[in-house]
Each structure stands twice: as structure tokens, then as C-alpha cells.
Amino acid sequence: MKELYKICCLTIIMAFAACEDIAHLKVRNGLVIYGWCMGLFFKVTEFGVCGFIYWIMGVTVPLCLLSVLFCFRMFGAADIKLISVIGGFYGAGYSIKVFVMALFIGGVLSVIRCIRFGYLKNRLRYFAEYIKNIIRTKAIDAYYISERDGKNVAIPFSTAIGVGFLAVYSGLFN
């Protein structure tokens, strides 16, 4: 029964995050903090005091590993924090599986969006130039800047995270 509460709680958090991201291209920190608190609650009720340590590891490992992607401006801070919320519920390894699945889903969504709006060739060219520039200058520039690139090229990645979570939880990605 605890597992049912846990999966329902996390699914609702992911659904709210996806709705906020679709509507505003951002997710409120309050929702993330709520997710962290609920993850901590479930870990402590499941493992007692040791649950706090499991929760800390589940939250901090994804934050540390994925913060590099934020530095490149390839992912928003909220996306990385949402992955850490999943880590707080199910552990760091699980959250990384969800992230890999979300990358695949997000990539498919991105290609569909680029084809739909007719800028797939431009975005692929931009990505190739971006990589060449990093190699040539050994300097890291932001991949996405909303003022330069516009809002149309951004996808609400929290949607991909939510779907990725459900795919991993259902056993599609073991």
C-alpha cells in the first residue's frame, strides 16, 4: 500500500511539473521542495533514520552529475531538480535510468517539433557548430539562450521526465 501512495504522489508531482513547464517553460521551486520533502518522508518511513542517508544520496548524486548539463545551458535547473526528486523517492541509480529514458523521449519530441516548425536542418547545423566551437576554442558557451534562440526551440523537458519515469517504473527500461 505504501508503494501505491509513493507512486501516486510522485506521478502527481511530475504531472504538475509538466503542466507548469508547458504553460510557462519553468517549474516552481515550491513544487520541487514539496517533492524533496515527500521523498524524504517516504524514505524515512521505509528505512527509519537510514532513510535520511538514502534520501540525501538519491537527491545529491543526480544534482551533482547533471549540473554539468546546466552549465552548458542544455538543461534547465528545474529539469535537474526534478530528476533529483525522483532520486529522493527511488534512489540515484533509478533517477539516472529515468534521465536516460527522458533524454530519448525528449530527443524524439524535439525532432518532431523541429520537423513540425521546419527548422530541423537549422538546429542540426547549429548543434554541429556548437560542438566544433567548443573543440576549437575550448570554451563552454551556453547552448540555448532564449533571447537569441526564441521559445519555439525549447521543449518542456519535464514532460519527458514524467513520461520517462512512468516508462522506467512500468518496466519498459530495465
Query: What Cα–Cα distance (Å) separates residue 154 from each residue in 48, 133, 158?
Result: 41, 21, 12
Mean pLDDT for 132-146 is: 81
Q: Does position 174 have pLDDT exceeding 70, yes or no? A: no
Lowest mean pLDDT among 4-8, 78-82, 96-100, 106-110: 106-110
Query: What Cα–Cα distance (Å) separates residue 3 from each residue in 25, 89, 169?
Result: 31, 10, 11
Q: Does position 26 have pLDDT exceeding 80, yes or no? A: yes
Query: What Cα–Cα distance (Å) separates residue 45 from each residue in 36, 39, 42, 55, 127?
Result: 14, 10, 5, 11, 46
Sole residue written with cell 518532431? 112
pLDDT, tens digit, for every residue of 142-159? 777 777 777 777 788 999
pTM across the whole model: 0.87
* Complete DSSP assignment for 148-174: HH-STT---HHHHHHHHHHHHHTTS--
Which pLDDT score, from 0 to 100, does residue 65 have? Answer: 92
Report how far Cα 58 is from the mean position of its chain's Cα atoms: 14
